[in-house]
Amino acid sequence: MPISYSLVHVAPDAVETPLLVVVLAADPSLPSALNGIDRQLNGAIARTLGRRDFRGGRDETMLFVGGDAGIQRVLLVGRGAAPLTRAAARRAASIAARQAGKLGLSTMHLYLPDAAAAHVEGLVIGAGAGSWSYPDLQTQPAEKDRRARLEQVAVVASDNADVRAAFAAGVAIAEGQAIAKRLGQMPGNYCTPETFVEVGREIADRHGMGLTVLGRSDMAALGMGSFLCVAQGTTQEPRLVALEYNGGPEGQRPVVLIGKGLCFDTGGISIKPAPEMEWMKFDMSGAGGVMGAMEAVGQLKLPINVVGIIGSTTNMPSGDAVKPGDVVRASNGKTIEIINTDAEGRLVLADLLVYAKRFNPAIAIDAATLTGAIVVGLGHSAVGVFSTDKVAADEVLAAGDAAGEPGWPMPMWDDYREQIKSDVADMKNTGGRAAGSITAALFLQEFVDGFPFVHLDVAGTAYSQSDLGWIPKGPTGTPVGTFVEFVRARARA
């Protein structure tokens, strides 16, 4: 069940709710809007604050039990001493949603005193993040033992156009991230290239976008020997899915978003070691991010043209699989010597980048779980941002910061290019261990012709293997936020 979000314009003490969440800054005093609620609780909140049992530290919570009607429970959530930002609101709402989930409450109301529009947006995104789950494949407990899942989130805020727009934007981003997370969590036998066709079709139908779906023979006709060599070892039909959103003037060059969609990456003939190979179901996170971003863009009805392109397949060893030493030809005519079949993402992206040119991009940005090396270099807290165009890179970095998905710029100097020179083809698909993320980015650049390009390596950030407190472990939704903020900023400019 997807969550339904609503915006209510009533005094916080007048709501009827199983759970009223109140977000408070450090060392809080009782907000005057809560006087009525505090009376209902016989002064328990004021006493608690007076005793400093609740101090409003970041992620601190305190639950109050009320009566059977009106406000049945109050949850105070601290947001700490730092200035109130959209990110702080998001974090507090996520903590609240996780608590509501533990209590088994299907409805909660969120109240942040003096919330501005941006904070309302953050509250909605946070509620979506904290309540996200993927229960599809687990048998549910018997009805009597089951705890309800959060289904309805209401934000209590003032009524003005800015708040309403921010609320709608929050819903768009939350639902876009939910799409990306769901795809990221689905096992490889559930999320297949066909799943991207289905999800792409749903998004296209919902928002009146153009949809193109290519299969093996279509891609062969376009000469996509690079993408297709990755799909050589699987019986599944590989898919290229393109969504075209035309919110801007006709003829306006679009922002093109590109995603790596490996539904599973065994490594192929250069097979990966068994330990932790199961994580490689997340190797479609770039493509999931493109789908989520297109959903958000469609909901936001932004006045700009945006194209989303994903390439989806599964990297499998087989008697037919591509081998180290093989040479393949991409759709721009360039030849590639396959050194390691596990460097497959860049082979898929190469043909997507050539395909992108037909849309005459204003800029293309790809997101890919491309290299283990970026996890070594930047860990799980920063997206690797690569571009030969500093202005474009800065624009994407700003979008990532705004989204709470920070990136870090990486060099793309020519010196590194030596590492991917081949004796038999135009280039090799790997450049050895040194600077592995950079040589991957330089490989991609070989397929970009005539438009600014930024590559996002999200291998460290698309999935969290540990519970982050406010974000449950699992898929994080990155890079949906970065894509949406980038497109939003362009639409405003």
Q: Which residues bind ligand BES (CB under 6 A)?
A: 265, 283, 340, 342-345, 369-373, 375, 430, 436, 459
For residue 405, state whether it binds Zn ion (rule: CB under 5 A).
no
Whole-angstrom Cα distance, residue 156 to residue 367? Answer: 36
Query: Is the bond preceding residue 317 a cis peptide, omega within 30 degrees?
Result: no
Judged by CB under 5 A, which of 345, 436, 475, 477 binds Zn ion? 345
The answer to whether 433 touches 343, Cβ cutoff 8 Å, is: no
Binding to Mn ion by residue 265, rule CB under 5 A?
Answer: yes
Q: Least distance (Å) from ligand BES to the CB of residue 333?
A: 24
- Which of 38, 121, 283, 351 touches Zn ion by CB under 5 A? 283
In whole angstroms, give the CA distance from residue 280 to residue 47.
Answer: 51
Stretch that binds Mn ion, among 52-60, 159-167, 221-229, 337-345 (CB under 5 A): 337-345
Choose the stretch contacting Mn ion; rule: CB under 5 A; options: 118-126, 212-220, 237-245, 336-344. 336-344
- The b-or-e profile of 125-155 (16+ CB within 10 A means b, else e) is bbbbbbbbebeeeeeeeeeeeeeebbebbbb
Q: Are 131 and 97 contacting, i.e. CB atoms less than 8 angstroms apart? A: yes
The helix (H) or strand (E) run that includes residue 87 is helix 86-103
Please identify, using beta-carbon distances, which residue of 18 and 261 lies nearer to ligand BES.
Answer: 261
Q: Nearest approach, Cβ of 66 to Zn ion (angstroms)?
A: 51
* Nearer to Mn ion (CB atom), residue 265 or residue 351: 265
- The span from the CA of 474 to the CA of 285, in Å, is 12
Which residue's CB is nearer to ligand BES, number 5 or number 463?
463
Residue 457 touching Zn ion (CB under 5 A): no
Residue 434, CA atoms < 13 Å, CB-side half-sphere: 6
Show contacts with Zn ion in window 250-279 (CB under 5 A).
Answer: 262, 265
Which are the catalytic amino acids? 272, 346
Smallest separation, CB 370 to ligand BES (Å) = 6
- Contacted entry of Zn ion, ligand BES, Mn ion, none for residue 430, CB cut-off 5 to 8 Å set by kind: ligand BES
Q: Which is nearer to Zn ion, 193 or 345 (CB)?
A: 345
Smallest gap from residue 26 Cβ to ligand BES (A)? 37
**For residues 342 and 485, which CB has a smaller minimum distance to Mn ion in the complex?**
342
Q: How far is the CB of 185 from Zn ion (least distance, A)?
A: 17
In this structure, the chain runs to a length of 493
Rounded CA-CA distance 150/2 in Å is 9
Residue 342 as a binder of Mn ion (CB under 5 A): the answer is yes
**Stretch binding Zn ion (CB under 5 A), from 1-9, 12-20, 344-352, 451-459:** 344-352
Vertex 9 angle, CA 8 and 15, to 5°: 70
Three-point CA angle 116, 176, 254, nearest 5°: 95
Scan for tokens 């936020």, then name that residue: 481
Select 78 or 436, whichever has its Cβ closest to ligand BES: 436
> How far is the CA of 253 from the CAs of 263, 374, 454, 490, in angstroms?
30, 31, 16, 12
Min dist. Cβ of residue 434 to Mn ion (A): 18
Nearest to 313 by CA among 212, 367, 241: 241
Q: Which residues bind Mn ion (CB under 5 A)?
A: 265, 342, 344
Q: Which residues bind Zn ion (CB under 5 A)?
A: 262, 265, 283, 345
